[in-house]
Amino acid sequence: MSADAEGVAGTAGDGGAVGPLAIAGQPDAVRLPAAAVGQQAATTADAGADHRPARAAAVRRVGRRRRLPNRQVLVGGALVLVTICVALVSLVWTPRPPQAQDLSLSLLPPFWMDGARPGFPFGTDLNGRDLLSQIMAGAQASLFVGVASVVVGGTIGLLLGLLAGYFGGWIEALVMRLVDIQLSLPGVLLAIAILAATGKGLLNVVLVLGFVSWVQYARIVRASTLGVRAQEYVLGARALGANDARIIRRHILPNILPPILVVATINVSSNILAEAALSYLGVGVPLSTVTWGGMLNEGKNVFELAWWNALWPGLAILLVVFGINLLGDGLSE
């Protein structure tokens, strides 16, 4: 992407993100409190509406040279990269088969404690499974659910947001009503309720988490689309005879993409957290697939005896989510 396009995109995204909040005279303002809502909404706003002066400065600077990624992006990116590598390696190699049970090796402590055995640096669980191997394999499920559910939610949200922002009218009214409804309810609650009925399953978790997170995308896409649609180059394209599909593809989409990517990054982390919580509660991914939440679910009866069973999976979740959030914060600045 050229430096110029980046500048335009940044401004468009910024205007879009603050759009519904800033224009007080429009019907939009009536929806303001409901639009500023919810934990997800706050994260979204976090990502988008920060530092307008800084942005302006950045736009000016971009003319001369591309900005180096900041420290947050580097640290967060490194954590994410390590997790991806671990997940990839675990596809072909783990120290032991993650699900291999051996009751003679039950509850071995980690390497620095008395009674530890070489070959089991993180210790073992009640069934004698190697915790290091399970942690490595668990990275697969976490990343898969995180990314896949964002693809599902992002696609729904992008489509509905584009329709609402581009065409307006009753479509917009309908979509925004749906947004209001969904924003009023905590996603985890909805996810638990739906999964309680549909039953567990990796795919079910992906679909349900996607279904409860589309709202964030729909809101930001609609707001950005509204901003971009009024730009001169869109009017120009239309005057030249471009149809709606072409305008959306060539002019709207490239310009609303950056803010969507920031939301998507942060959404990956919140969906990884949600998956872990669901699997811990026993309504998420079934135990036949190794997940960090599932490890905590299985280990909860032995935590007093063998606390390391509680330590590793939680630490793994914390590091990945921390890394992704850091990356998202860095990207949004």
Applying CB under 8 A, which residues contact other proteins?
24-27, 29-30, 32-34, 36-39, 41-43, 46, 49-50, 53, 177, 180-181, 184-190, 192-194, 196-199, 269, 273, 276-277, 280-283, 293, 296, 300, 303-304, 307, 310-311, 313-314, 317-318, 321-322, 325-326, 329
* Cα–Cα distance for residue pair 146/157, rounded to 1 Å: 16
Nearest approach, Cβ of 315 to other proteins (angstroms)? 9
Neighbouring CB atoms inside 10 A of 65's CB total 8
**CB of residue 231 vs other proteins: minimum separation in angstroms?**
25
Contact between residue 59 and residue 12 where contact means Cβ atoms under 8 Å apart: no
Beta-bridge mates of residue 124? 130
Work out how close the CB of 149 gets to other proteins at its nearest, in angstroms, rounded to a whole number: 16
Cα–Cα distance measured from residue 13 to residue 46, given in angstroms and rounded to the nearest whole number? 13
Neighbours of 316 (CB within 10 A): 21
| Residue 32 phi, psi dihedral angles, 5° rounding | -50, -50
Cα(309)–Cα(107) distance, integer angstroms? 8
CA-based Rg of the chain, rounded to a whole angstrom?
23
CB nearer to other proteins: give 256 or 295: 295
Q: Which is nearer to other proteins, 3 or 30 (CB)?
A: 30
For residue 15, what are its two tokens? Answer: 């205007």
Q: Which is nearer to other proteins, 257 or 264 (CB)?
A: 264
CA distance 194 to 204: 9
Under a CB-based contact definition with an 8 Å cutoff, are residues 273 and 40 in contact? no
CB of 252 to other proteins, least distance (A): 26
Tell me whether residue 8 or residue 58 sits nearer to other proteins (CB atom): 58
Is the separation of the CB atoms in 285 and 294 below 8 Å? yes
**Least distance CB 24 / other proteins (angstroms):** 5
Nearer to other proteins, 36 or 253 (CB): 36
Q: How far is the CB of 322 from other proteins (least distance, A)?
A: 4
By C-beta, is 26 or 243 nearer to other proteins?
26
CB nearer other proteins, residue 198 or residue 231: 198
Q: How far is the CB of 237 from other proteins (least distance, A)?
A: 31
Q: Least distance in Å: CB of 293 to other proteins?
A: 8
- From the CB of 138, what's the least distance to other proteins, in Å? 13
Helix (H, G, I), strand (E, B) or coil at 110: coil
Alpha carbon distance 299, 301 (integer Å): 6
Decide whether 221 or 276 has the Cβ nearer to other proteins: 276
Is the CB of 162 or the CB of 266 nearer to other proteins? 266
DSSP string of 253-311, one letter each residue: HHHHHHHHHHHHHHHHHHHHHHHHHHHHHTSSS-TTS--HHHHHHHHTTTTTT-THHHH
